[in-house]
């Protein structure tokens, strides 16, 4: 992980979190709610000034921001002071709580618009139907639009990508499409054709790495008869002397018939030959889903808005899978270390040009911004979602919760959030090892 990727990650997360707090401040200020302080970032103050009763700070550590209201630190002042946030009308506090997540969603959409305006984006319409694929066995036609996958609504290509990521290759898939010709909806089923092929038992990252080979991303536990010898991070250069870039490489693996082969890898900067036995795997033929590129500024705006909807939809589905036990919590939760690792994968990739890296980082920033809005709307103490729940409870009860009660709830929430941060760090470390 390079210093540049760490700087980009910290600064990016800090700016997104600061935008969230600025949203709270702007709406509170607009509604006439007194604000004592707005601090951009945290830690020691670098610059400060006072304007219209508000003290503004630019602080040293570029991570987060905060807004301080009168009476926030004193229970007696919070109750007796008419300017305290506690004594503001419910509808004003409701809007202030919604402001932070709303700014993150709007910012995410704006980032998507910028990215998709400068690079191509994919629609949900079928581009081509290739022979020998599952799609070719259906009556789907180019230009037909994908509406749903296994009953789940599709808004953008992001939904399609995530849905198929979680569907096993050997499982049939039911899709609802809209015909470009008739305008009517119809249903198809993608039925995999399973063949048995010999493989090394590894998954590689797309594209060539700095060594001109394939970086191994994952290793199947059954590799080499259940005794894996290749490792994640190895750079696979050749098998039996045939480079991975050679068109005959796949035939070398498939024609091994379970015998031993010699894989040339670069591990920790050292080239070495490793002998292993190929393993037979059931392999499904390609789904054959290709998507048309989108075009036009109107489509860019629509796609950017729907992309945000897709992020929320995928986040909700992730929580559902965790609750049902279908997805380990460690795979669903990521913290700053995990994000820094993703940023590093983009920034430190030697074969990608800088313009593509900027686009990838922009897309990642948009995803994180919308994801930040969603996570803040969860009804956990200390988050905006919890504040909204408390306001709704007030409306139902017809009276306020005591300030002491709110402070206790927020204190408990702080402990819960620290626990989630620690768990996120633990999850990130598991993924890195």
* pLDDT tens digits along 123-175: 999 998 888 899 999 999 999 999 999 999 999 999 999 898 888 888 999 99
**Residue 77 in this model has a pLDDT that exceeds 60:** no
Q: Which helix (H) or strand (E) holds 242?
A: strand 242-243
Tell me what pLDDT residue 217 has: 86
Tell me what pLDDT residue 105 has: 94
CATH 3.30.70.330 fits 197-280, yes or no: no
**Residue 1 in this model has a pLDDT that exceeds 80:** no
* pLDDT tens digits along 373-408: 988 888 877 788 888 888 888 888 877 777 677 667
Q: Are 316 and 410 in contact (CB under 8 A)?
A: no
Higher-confidence residue of 75 and 219: namely 219
364 Cα distance to chain centroid: 7
Q: Are 148 and 167 in contact (CB under 8 A)?
A: no
How far apart CA 327 and CA 315 sit, in angstroms, is 12
Q: Are 191 and 134 in contact (CB under 8 A)?
A: yes
The full length of the chain comes to 433
What is the domain partition of the chain in residue ranges? Answer: 3-117+368-432, 197-280
């Amino acid at each position: 992980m390079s210093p540049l990727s760490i700087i980009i990650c910290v600064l990016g997360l800090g700016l997104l979190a600061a935008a969230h707090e600025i949203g709270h401040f702007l709406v509170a200020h607009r509604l006439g709610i007194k604000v004592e302080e707005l601090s951009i970032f945290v830690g020691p103050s670098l610059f400060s000034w006072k304007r219209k009763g508000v003290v503004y700070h630019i602080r040293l550590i570029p991570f987060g921001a905060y807004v301080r209201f009168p009476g926030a630190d004193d229970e007696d002042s919070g109750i007796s002071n008419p300017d305290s946030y506690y004594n503001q009308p419910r509808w004003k506090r409701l809007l202030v709580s919604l402001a932070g997540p709303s700014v993150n969603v709007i910012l995410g959409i704006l980032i998507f618009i910028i990215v998709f305006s400068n690079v191509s984006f994919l629609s949900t319409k079928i581009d081509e139907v290739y022979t020998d694929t599952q799609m070719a066995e259906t009556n789907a036609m180019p230009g037909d639009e994908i509406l749903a996958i296994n009953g789940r609504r599709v808004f953008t290509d992001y939904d399609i990508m995530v849905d198929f990521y979680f569907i096993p290759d050997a499982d049939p898939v039911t899709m609802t499409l809209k015909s470009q010709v008739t305008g009517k909806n119809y249903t198809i089923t993608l039925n995999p054709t399973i063949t048995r092929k010999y493989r090394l038992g590894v998954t590689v990252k797309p594209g060539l790495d700095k060594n001109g080979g394939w970086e191994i991303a994952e290793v199947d536990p059954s590799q080499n008869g259940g005794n894996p010898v290749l490792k994640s991070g190895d750079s696979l250069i050749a098998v039996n002397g045939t480079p991975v870039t050679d068109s005959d490489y796949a035939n070398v693996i498939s024609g091994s018939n379970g015998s031993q082969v010699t894989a040339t890898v670069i591990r920790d900067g050292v080239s070495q030959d490793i002998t292993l036995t190929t393993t037979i795997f059931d392999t499904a033929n390609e789904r054959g889903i290709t998507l048309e590129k989108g075009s036009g500024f109107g489509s860019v705006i629509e796609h950017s808005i729907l992309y945000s909807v897709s992020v929320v939809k995928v986040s909700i589905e992730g929580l559902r899978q965790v609750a049902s036990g279908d997805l380990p919590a460690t795979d669903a939760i990521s913290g700053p270390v995990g994000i820094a690792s993703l940023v590093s994968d983009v920034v430190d990739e030697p074969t990608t040009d800088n313009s593509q890296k900027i686009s990838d980082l922009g897309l990642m920033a948009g995803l994180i911004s919308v994801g930040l809005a969603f996570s803040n709307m969860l009804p956990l103490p200390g988050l905006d979602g919890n504040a909204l729940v408390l306001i709704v409870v007030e409306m139902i009860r017809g009276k306020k919760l005591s300030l002491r009660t709110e402070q206790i709830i927020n204190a408990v929430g702080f402990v819960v959030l620290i626990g989630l941060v620690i768990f996120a760090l633990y999850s990130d470390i598991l993924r890195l090892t």
